[in-house]
A and B are shown apart, each in its own frame.
Chain A
Amino acid sequence: MAKPLPAPRAAIPFRLAFPPVSGVLRPRLVAVCLLLAALAAGAFCVGLTLGDVPVPVADVVAALTGQADGGTRFVVVELRLPRALTAVLVGVAFGVAGAMFQTMTRNPLASPDMIGITQGASTAVVAGIVLFQAGGAALQVLGVAGAVATAALIYTLGWRRGTTGYRMILIGIGLSWICTSATDFLLAHGSRFEAQAATGWLVGNLNGRTYDHVVPLALCVALLVPAALLLGRLTRTLQLGDDVALGLGTPVQRVRLALLATAVGLVAFGTAAAGPVAFVALAAPQIAQRLAGTAWPPPATSALTGALMVLAADLAARRVLPGVELPVGVVSGALGAPVLLWLLVRANRAGSGG
C-alpha cells in the first residue's frame, strides 16, 4: 500500500525542560484529529435531532445539559442518546482495533472481519438465536465469548516457538471459513423467523439500543483505548519486522500478545453491542492513515474516523429510505467499499502499485 513519506516540517520534534517531556508534534495529524472530532460531534447532534419527533439542535443541547422539559428530555436522553453513544463507541472500538491489527500484521487487509474473530462472534450469537432462542443480554455475552474464543484459538494454533503475524492471518482465514460455514448451516436449519433475527444481527444494527448496550462497551473502551494508545509506541517498532524489533529491544512475543488481547477485547465488546458493522475496522484505519499523511494507521485518528463513519452511516441508514430503518451495517459496507476502491485507484496513480 501507499506509504507517503511525511513532508518536510510535517513532524516537529520538541523537548521541554519542565516537565521533562520530549516528543514529536505533527501539525497535520493534530489538525485532522480536530476536524474529525468536530465532524463527529456535528453528526452526533444531528443524529439526536432526527426521528419521529424532530427536536431542534438548541433543545438537544438543553436536554443534554438538563435544562429541557420532561418530554424532550425523555426522547433525547432515554431514546436517542443510547443509540448515538453506541454508534460512537463502536466506531472508536473498531477503528482502534483495526489500526492495531493492521499495524501488528503489517497488512492493510488484516482487519478482525477478515481473520475470523468477527465470524467467531457471529457463529456464537447465531447459535444462541437458533438453538436456544436467546435474546438481549445473553447475545452480548455470547458475542464476547465467541470473539475471545476464536482469538485464543488463532493464537494457540499459530504458536510454533512464537507466532508471526502472517501465520496468524492464515490460521484466521481457515477458522473464519469454518465459522462461516457453521453459521450458514445454522441459518439454513433455523426457522424463517429465527433466520431473519439472526441475519438482522449479522449485518450490524443500532436499532433499539439501550443503556444496557452502552455501559459494558463504554467501560471496555475507557479501559482498552488508553492501553492501545500506550502500546502504540511498541507497535511501531514491530512494523519494521520481528528481527529488527527484537534487535531494538522490543519483547516481540509479549508485545504481540498484549496487542492481540487489547484489540480483541475492543472488537468483542463492539461486536456484542452492535453486531459486526461491516468494513469499519478495515476502512477507518486506512482512511485515517491517508488523511493524516502518516506511514502507519494512527490509532487516535482511526478512532475518530471510525466514530464518524458509524455515525454518518447511521444517519444515512435512517434517512435514505423513508419509513424504513436500514441496519447500519448495510450502509457502512456500501459507503466503505467505494472509498477503498478509490484509495486503490489513487494508490496506483501515485505509482506504488497497490
Chain B
Amino acid sequence: MTRGIRGVLLLTGAAAVLLCGCLLSLAFGALSIPPGDVVAVLTGRQDGTRFADVLWSVRVPRTLLGLATGAALGVAGALMQALTRNPLADPGILGVSAGASFAIVVSAGLLGVTSLSGYIWPAFLGALLASVAVYALGGVGAFGQTPVKLALAGVAVTALLGSLTHGIVLTDPDALDRFRFWSAGSLAGVGADELLWITPFLVFGGFLALACAPALNSLALGDDVAASLGRSPWLVRAQGTAAITLLTGASVAVIGPVVFLGLVVPHLARVLTQRVGIGPDHRWLLPLSGLIAPALLLAADVVGRIVVRPVEIQSGVIVALLGGPFFIVLVRRARLREI
C-alpha cells in the first residue's frame, strides 16, 4: 500500500470512531433514546414525538457544537506544537484562555451582561487581544521571535490577566458565579444561534491551518532549512498564529477553556501516524487531530452526562481527568530529550 492509501484508511477509521461518538452523544443523557429511534428521527420518520423534540432542540446543537469546537481545538493544538516545536505547547499558551476569562469577568462584573450569548463576543475579543499582545511581546528584541520567548511572554500575560480576573471576581459575587461555571468548560446550555455565530471563524481558521500544513513540514527542519526550501518562516508563523487565535478564541469563548484537549490529541495522532508508517507529516497530522479531538470531547461530554445523573459533570473536567493520566503515561514511556 502506498502512504496515501494508508493515510486515507487511517482518516476513515478516525471518522468512523467520531461517527460512533456522535451517535452516543445523541442517544445518551437525562433521557436515553434508543439508537434506532435516533436514526428514525434524523431521517424524518418520527416527527412530532417526544424523542424528536429533545433531539432537535437540545442534542443535535450540542453534538454539532462538540464536533466543531473539538475539531478546532485539536487542529489548533497540533498547529501550536508544530509552530513552537515544543511538545508541551497547548493552544492556551498564547494567552487565549486568560484573555477570554478576563473579558467574561469584566463584562459580567463591570458591564452587567447576564445572558450567555452576551459573553461570546467579549470573550472572543479578549482572546484575540491577549494573543496579539503575547505575539508582539514574544517578538520584541534584536533576535526576533523564538519559541522560548513566546512561551515566557504567554506565561507572563496569563499571570497578569489572571491576577486582574481574580481581583474582580473576589469583589463581585455575580462575576464569580458566571466565571466558575464557564471556566470548568462545558458544552451544555449553548443553542444553535451561538453555533452559527462562531462557524465562519472556525471555517476560516481551519482553512488557514490546513493551508500551512506543507510549510510546517519544512519548518520542522529548522528556520534556516525552511527558508532555503523557499518558505518564509515569518509568514508561516503569522498565518499559523492567526489560525490558532481564530480556532481557539471562538471555541474557548463558547465552551470554556478546554485547552488540555489540544495538548493531548496531537500526541495521540503522532503515535497513530507512526504506527501506520506515515510519520509526523503535518498534512495527515492536522486532519487526524481534527477528527480525534471531537471524538474525545463528545465521549467526555457523554461520560459527564451519565456518571452522576441527573447532575452533569462539565466535559472540560472529564477531559483533564482522563487526559491527564494519559499524558503522564506518555511522558513515562517516551524517550525524552531536554528542550
Q: Which residues of A contact B (CB under 8 A)?
A: 109, 114, 157-158, 160, 164, 166-167, 170-171, 173-175, 177-178, 180-182, 184-185, 187-189, 192, 195-196, 199-200, 202-203, 278-279, 324, 326-327, 329-334, 336-338, 340-341, 344-345, 347-349, 351, 353-354
- The contact of B324 among A174, A185, A348, by CB within 8 Å, is A174
Q: Is the interface of B mostly helix, strand, loop or mixed?
A: helix
When A192-B173, A195-B176, A329-B163 are in contact, do A184 and B316 touch as well, CB less than 8 Å? yes
Q: Which residues of B contact A (CB under 8 A)?
A: 88, 137, 140-143, 146, 148-149, 151-153, 155-157, 159-160, 162-164, 166-167, 169-171, 173, 176-177, 180-181, 183-185, 260, 263, 311, 313-314, 316-317, 319-321, 323-325, 327-328, 331-332, 336, 338-339
| B171 engages A324 (CB within 8 Å) | yes
The answer on a CB contact under 8 Å between A329 and B324 is no
Smallest Cβ-Cβ distance to A345: which chain B residue: B140
The answer on a CB contact under 8 Å between A166 and B320 is no
Q: Which residues of A contact B176 (CB under 8 A)?
A: 192, 195-196, 199
A192 to B172, CA, bound (A): 12
B151 to chain A, nearest CB (A): 8
Contact A337 B157 (CB under 8 A): yes
Smallest Cβ-Cβ distance to B148: which chain A residue:
A354
13 additional A-B residue pairs with CB within 8 Å, beyond A341-B157, A354-B143:
A157-B328, A158-B332, A164-B338, A167-B336, A173-B327, A177-B323, A184-B184, A185-B184, A196-B170, A333-B159, A340-B155, A348-B141, A353-B141
- Residues on B with C-beta less than 8 A from A331 are 163
**Centre residue among B146, B160, B171 by max chain A CB count within 10 A:** B160
Pick from A174, A336, A348: contact of B143, CB below 8 A. Answer: A348
Identify the closest chain A residue to B141 (Cβ). A348
- B residues within 8 A CB of A327? 166, 170
**CB-CB < 8 A to A351: which residues of B?**
142-143
Residue of B nearest to A180 (CB): B320
B156 with A184: CB separation less than 8 A: no
How far, in Å, is A107 (CB) from chain B's closest CB? 9
CA distance A167 to B137 in the complex (A): 29
| B-side contacts of A178, CB under 8 Å | 320-321, 324-325
Considering the complex, give the chain A residue whose CB is closest to the CB of B182.
A188
Q: A278-B163, A330-B166, A351-B143 are in contact. Are A175 and B328 (CB under 8 A)?
A: yes
Which of A166, A199, A333 lies in contact with B170, CB distance below 8 A?
A199
Determine if A181 and B321 form an interchain contact, defined as CB atoms under 8 angstroms apart.
Answer: yes
A303 to B317, CA, bound (A): 36
How near does chain B come to A159, taking the closest CB pair, in angstroms? Answer: 9
Q: Quick check: B159 and A174 within 8 Å, CB to CB?
A: no
Q: Which of A174, A180, A348 contacts B327 (CB under 8 A)?
A: A174
Residues in chain B near residue A171, CB distance under 8 A? 328, 331-332
